[in-house]
Structure 1
Amino acid sequence: MERLVIISNRVAEIGEKTQIGGLAVGIADALSRGEGLWVGWNGAVSGPGEDPATSRKQHEAITTLTFSLTEEEHENYYLGFSNRVLWPSFHYRLDLIEFSEAFAKAYSSVNKRFARTAFPELKSDDLVWVHDYHLIPVAQELRKLGSRHRIGFFLHIPFPSAEIFSAVPRHEWLRECLFQFDLIGFQTNRDLENFRLYLAEHADVEFISDNLIKAAGRIIRLGAFPIGIDVEQFAAMANKVDDAVELERMRRDILGRIQMISADRLDYSKGLPERTRAFLEFLNAYPEYRGFAEYLQIASPTREDVLAYTEIRTELEQLSGAVNGKFAEFNWSPVQYINRSIPRDKLACLFHASRIGLITPLRDGMNLVAKEYIAAQPADDPGVLILSKFAGAAEQLEEALIVNPYDAGEVAGAIRRAVTMPLEERQNRQRKLLDRIKTTDAHWWQTTFLEALGHAPYVSTQSTQSTKAAKIVRIR
């Protein structure tokens, strides 16, 4: 049986399920089927003179192989090219790009480290699955080392329009790196179409079919594989009684109050200030809900060393204070803002107790919080999901109230509709949404991707030292 090798920027603690998020759930489930290897950064930064040596851990049949980054690598590869160049551009924020040659050099160099760490561990029949924008050059580096493995790449964030991607510094190099994968997977059909259009305009590519291209002398499979969650696990957490959450829910019921909730990383792509302005618009447009509607915004800190994230935090704090300053009463605050991480089991209970899930990113690859909100809802009295049309999840979750996050009035109107939606309509929408996230859960995601990778063409070389003599071999 083929062994699965995962290469990703970070590696989860396999044995500690409370730490596993959406991406890690799907990966851990894939690895748990047999022997597996997971290679990545351990999150540590080595000080001057310290040795960033690799560390090996074993959890049943799963081996994790991790290493630290130097301070320079962390600054230039991670905070630099990955999060000051690729992240903003893939989220349509070219105005936030900060590029330097040092960033590009470190990005290339660290990807070589990933490949050189993984390559000696590879067995001849391994399937290699590389994750996300941090590691676009890994397949190219593995090929240089002589790898003939089938290597798949999955992009967890959006793939931008052809015009946007062509403005990314080093986009031609990134494109050629992608051509060294056997399968390139995206979250949505929109992302896939954006990539096709970019190739049609900017690359010498032969389109063999909707999901096969010939580029750089190789045949590459393309596909959309929307990531899912472990629905049963999250629903089980939501149905456990949390005394503090339950007491607060009972208080709201007695006072006739309605809670809406959102939970995001504190990131400019999530549309947090725009969402707060939409709630302010709701209170202005529908004054009868003053004193009754409550908005709980959980924004966990992230990438605090990047200036754009400091600025978004300041803006959000000022907006939250302004709304409360205008409308709060001695026993009611319209906005409750939490700037720290909340454990997933607590978050599940909060979703369960909230009448509205307000998930309105300006741009998102998928947004698993939307699916978690659905999984957490009680069947007899479910809440309503309000979802941005720019979240990848909107392509699947069409029974949600789909909104334009840039239009505060439209979002305010959707809140009003959600508040007044009849029980029968809420139940009908919830049933359809729940069926869909169960059908395309985390297990389905990884199984579908790996089946496509297993059936992809792959490179066979005459020499393990060079891929110049490569030929295409179709399997099965």
Structure 2
Amino acid sequence: MERLVIISNRVAEIGEKTQIGGLAVGIADALRRGEGLWVGWNGCVSSDDEYPAARRRDHKTVTTLTFSLTQEEHENYYLGFSNRVLWPSFHYRLDLIEFNEDFAQAYASVNRRFARIAFPELKKDDLIWVHDYHLIGVARELRKLGSNHKIGFFLHIPFPSAEIFSAVPRHEWLRNCLLEFDLIGFQTSRDLENFRFYLVENSDVEFISDDLIRASGRTIRIGAFPIGIDVAQFAEMAEKVDDAVELERMRRDVLGRIQMISADRLDYSKGLPDRTRAFLEFLNTYPEYRGCAEYLQIASPSREDVPAYTEIKAELEQLAGAVNGKYAEFNWSPVQYINRSIPRDKLACLFRASRIGLITPLRDGMNLVAKEYVAAQHPGDPGVLVLSKFAGAAEQLREALIVNPYDAGEIAAAMKRAATMPLQERRERHQRLLERIRRTDARWWQTTFLEALRKAPCGFSETIRDCPRMEDDAYTVAG
């Protein structure tokens, strides 16, 4: 009987009904609906260089297998190669890349460790689904151990242009690792085209059709599979009354004020300072909104050990203070800045109470917050979504007001248009957006990807091209 095996950097709590994060939202439900195994890091860092045995937990028909990282692995694999090399480069920030050989070696070694922990647990008919940029090398390591399972890979973040990816340290090794999967999935057609063009320019891969390529004797399926959300669940949370949120909404109604909202991880890819500058431009250009437009920015902490994140936090706090210092009155602050995580049910209520959703990342794989904002709206009086053209969601959410996140004047103009948009137009736009996110929800994403994986050709590569400096076969796992 087929079993789904998920391998990802982190493992979510299977028992939780509401997950936070695109990966958790997207796959926890898929596992709960049938027999499955989820393998990944437990988020803990061991105090020494020992490798504690993986911990097994059973959740009805689903088993999780989690383990700790050593301090060195956390520093070099996670904070290093994953988040100081791959994350910035895939988000078009080559200027932020910090590379050294220890990062590369640790990334290869930890990918090998994931594979060695998972491999003894595999059954003959398992379907393996590997997630995201942390684990590009896992299929390669599983093949070395003798796995001939169908293995799919899904990239949750953008795949950059050919020029950018070819500048990534060890990009040839990463390419060869990707070509050991049977299915390679991306968020958008733009990401898929970027990957195709990179292969044309930097490999001898044969293109059989739009979705099939041939490399080293193996046929690999490629495709775009935009991730979705559980629309009904999020809408249900938004409909529940939160007394504090409702009281604040009523206050704004009485005073004739409107609220704009953004909710992001504190990350340089999200365009938070640019958005704050755009709100300042809005107040400068449209003085009639001084005293009545409020911007709520929720920025949950993220990767605080990486210097670039400390810098963006300081910049955002300075900008928020500058806007308030210029325009705040004794009974009105234009910017409300929250640097902590907000419970998902409360966030849904805040979205519903906000006239404008500002989702303007500089680059994003999908951005599920944009879809959550749409799901949270009251159909009779919906808010307006202002969305960056560089968010993956822009390919689907065409009825949003699409903007260039680098152009403060364009964003400010979109804020003005959203604030004055007639009710009928807001309803029509929202209805079309809602229909689309319902049609391509989280379950559609799961089903579409896994069906493509089942249909993908499956073959074991006879020769695996090595990048010697990224390999260390002496690496062993205790236990």
- TM superposition score category, shorter chain reference: over 0.9
Quote the Cα distance in structure 1 between the aligned partners of 2:4 and 2:51.
Answer: 29
Quote the Cα distance in structure 1 between the aligned partners of 2:412 and 2:19.
Answer: 34
Deviation at 1:28, TM superposition (A): 1.3
Q: Is the Cα–Cα contact under 8 Å of residues 294 and 336 in structure 1 kept in the other structure?
A: yes
Report the equivalent of 1:181: 181
Q: Is the Cα–Cα contact under 8 Å of residues 386 and 401 in structure 2 kept in the other structure?
A: yes
Quote the Cα distance in structure 1 between the aligned partners of 2:181 and 2:40.
Answer: 18
Deviation at 1:25, TM superposition (A): 2.2
Report the equivalent of 1:382: 382
Quote the Cα distance in structure 1 between the aligned partners of 2:78 and 2:428.
Answer: 44
Quote the Cα distance in structure 2 between the aligned partners of 1:381 and 1:324.
Answer: 29
Note the 1:450-461 alignment, pairs <5 A. 450-460=450-460
Report the equivalent of 2:218: 218
Deviation at 1:19, TM superposition (A): 4.0
The residue type equivalent to 1:22 in the other structure is G
Report the equivalent of 1:464: none
Quote the Cα distance in structure 1 between the aligned partners of 2:28 and 2:245.
Answer: 30
The residue type equivalent to 1:377 in the other structure is Q
Instruction: State yes or no: 1:101 paired with 2:105.
Output: no
Number of equivalent positions: 464
Instruction: State yes or no: 1:358 paired with 2:355.
Output: no
The residue type equivalent to 1:207 in the other structure is F
Report the equivalent of 1:293: 293
The residue type equivalent to 1:108 in the other structure is A
Report the equivalent of 1:413: 413
Q: Is the Cα–Cα contact under 8 Å of residues 82 and 134 in structure 2 kept in the other structure?
A: yes
Instruction: State yes or no: 1:243 paired with 2:248.
Output: no
Quote the Cα distance in structure 2 between the aligned partners of 1:116 and 1:108.
Answer: 12
Instruction: State yes or no: 1:43 paired with 2:65.
Output: no
Instruction: State yes or no: 1:398 paired with 2:395.
Output: no
Quote the Cα distance in structure 1 between the aligned partners of 2:421 and 2:354.
Answer: 14
| Structure 2 residue matching 1:229: 3-state secondary structure | coil
The residue type equivalent to 2:121 in the other structure is E
Instruction: State yes or no: 1:230 paired with 2:230.
Output: yes
- After superposition, give the CA deviation of every residue in 1:245-265 in whole Å (9 maximum; x if it has no partner): 000000000000000000000
Report the equivalent of 1:192: 192
Q: Is the Cα–Cα contact under 8 Å of residues 148 and 459 in structure 1 kept in the other structure?
A: yes
Note the 1:115-264 alignment, pairs <5 A. 115-264=115-264
Report the equivalent of 2:343: 343
Instruction: State yes or no: 1:84 paired with 2:89.
Output: no
Quote the Cα distance in structure 2 between the aligned partners of 1:48 and 1:399.
Answer: 53
Deviation at 1:51, TM superposition (A): 4.2
Q: Is the Cα–Cα contact under 8 Å of residues 295 and 335 in structure 1 kept in the other structure?
A: yes
Report the equivalent of 1:474: none
Quote the Cα distance in structure 2 between the aligned partners of 1:223 and 1:340.
Answer: 36
| Structure 2 residue matching 1:458: 3-state secondary structure | coil
Superposition RMSD in Å: 1.0
Name the CA shift for 1:468/1:159 in 2 (closer, same or farther; >3 Å): closer
| Structure 2 residue matching 1:445: 3-state secondary structure | helix
Quote the Cα distance in structure 1 between the aligned partners of 2:103 and 2:320.
Answer: 35
The residue type equivalent to 2:283 in the other structure is L
| Structure 1 residue matching 2:45: 3-state secondary structure | strand
With normalisation by structure 1, the TM-score equals 0.96
The residue type equivalent to 2:281 in the other structure is E
Name the CA shift for 1:112/1:51 in 2 (closer, same or farther; >3 Å): closer
Contiguous gaps of at least 5 residues in structure 1: 462-466, 470-476
Quote the Cα distance in structure 2 between the aligned partners of 1:32 and 1:75.
Answer: 33
Contiguous gaps of at least 5 residues in structure 2: 465-479
Quote the Cα distance in structure 2 between the aligned partners of 1:228 and 1:126.
Answer: 24
Report the equivalent of 1:73: 73
Q: Is the Cα–Cα contact under 8 Å of residues 52 and 70 in structure 1 kept in the other structure?
A: no
Quote the Cα distance in structure 1 between the aligned partners of 2:234 and 2:312.
Answer: 29
Quote the Cα distance in structure 2 between the aligned partners of 1:109 and 1:324.
Answer: 48
Deviation at 1:18, TM superposition (A): 3.6
| Structure 2 residue matching 1:17: 3-state secondary structure | coil
Q: For structure 1, which segment, 52-61 or 434-443, has the greater mean C-alpha deviation from structure 2 after superposition?
A: 52-61
| Structure 2 residue matching 1:156: 3-state secondary structure | coil
Deviation at 1:417, TM superposition (A): 0.1
Quote the Cα distance in structure 1 between the aligned partners of 2:413 and 2:431.
Answer: 23
Report the equivalent of 2:10: 10
- After superposition, give the CA deviation of every residue in 1:82-120 in whole Å (9 maximum; x if it has no partner): 000000000000000000000000000000010000000
Q: Is the Cα–Cα contact under 8 Å of residues 54 and 65 in structure 2 kept in the other structure?
A: yes
Q: Is the Cα–Cα contact under 8 Å of residues 299 and 338 in structure 1 kept in the other structure?
A: yes
Q: Is the Cα–Cα contact under 8 Å of residues 356 and 418 in structure 1 kept in the other structure?
A: yes
- After superposition, give the CA deviation of every residue in 1:311-334 in whole Å (9 maximum; x if it has no partner): 000000000000000000000000
Q: Is the Cα–Cα contact under 8 Å of residues 51 and 69 in structure 2 kept in the other structure?
A: no
- After superposition, give the CA deviation of every residue in 1:283-306 in whole Å (9 maximum; x if it has no partner): 000000000000000000000000
Instruction: State yes or no: 1:265 paired with 2:283.
Output: no
Note the 1:465-476 alignment, pairs <5 A. 467-468=462-463
Report the equivalent of 1:309: 309
Deviation at 1:33, TM superposition (A): 2.3
Q: Is the Cα–Cα contact under 8 Å of residues 374 and 434 in structure 1 kept in the other structure?
A: yes
Report the equivalent of 2:25: 25
The residue type equivalent to 1:223 in the other structure is G
The residue type equivalent to 1:298 in the other structure is I
- After superposition, give the CA deviation of every residue in 1:136-191 in whole Å (9 maximum; x if it has no partner): 00000000000000000000000000000000000000000001000000000000
Q: Is the Cα–Cα contact under 8 Å of residues 143 and 460 in structure 2 kept in the other structure?
A: no
Q: Is the Cα–Cα contact under 8 Å of residues 370 and 385 in structure 1 kept in the other structure?
A: yes
Report the equivalent of 1:472: none
Quote the Cα distance in structure 2 between the aligned partners of 1:234 and 1:385.
Answer: 16
Deviation at 1:193, TM superposition (A): 0.1
Q: For structure 1, which segment, 215-224 or 266-275, has the greater mean C-alpha deviation from structure 2 after superposition?
A: 215-224
Deviation at 1:49, TM superposition (A): 5.4
The residue type equivalent to 2:292 in the other structure is F
Deviation at 1:20, TM superposition (A): 4.2
Q: Is the Cα–Cα contact under 8 Å of residues 4 and 35 in structure 1 kept in the other structure?
A: yes
Quote the Cα distance in structure 1 between the aligned partners of 2:79 and 2:460.
Answer: 36
Deviation at 1:460, TM superposition (A): 4.8
Quote the Cα distance in structure 2 between the aligned partners of 1:49 and 1:3.
Answer: 33
The residue type equivalent to 2:123 in the other structure is K
Quote the Cα distance in structure 2 between the aligned partners of 1:278 and 1:49.
Answer: 47
Deviation at 1:21, TM superposition (A): 3.3
- After superposition, give the CA deviation of every residue in 1:404-431 in whole Å (9 maximum; x if it has no partner): 0000000000000000000000000000
Identity %: 82
Quote the Cα distance in structure 2 between the aligned partners of 1:90 and 1:19.
Answer: 25
Quote the Cα distance in structure 1 between the aligned partners of 2:163 and 2:338.
Answer: 37
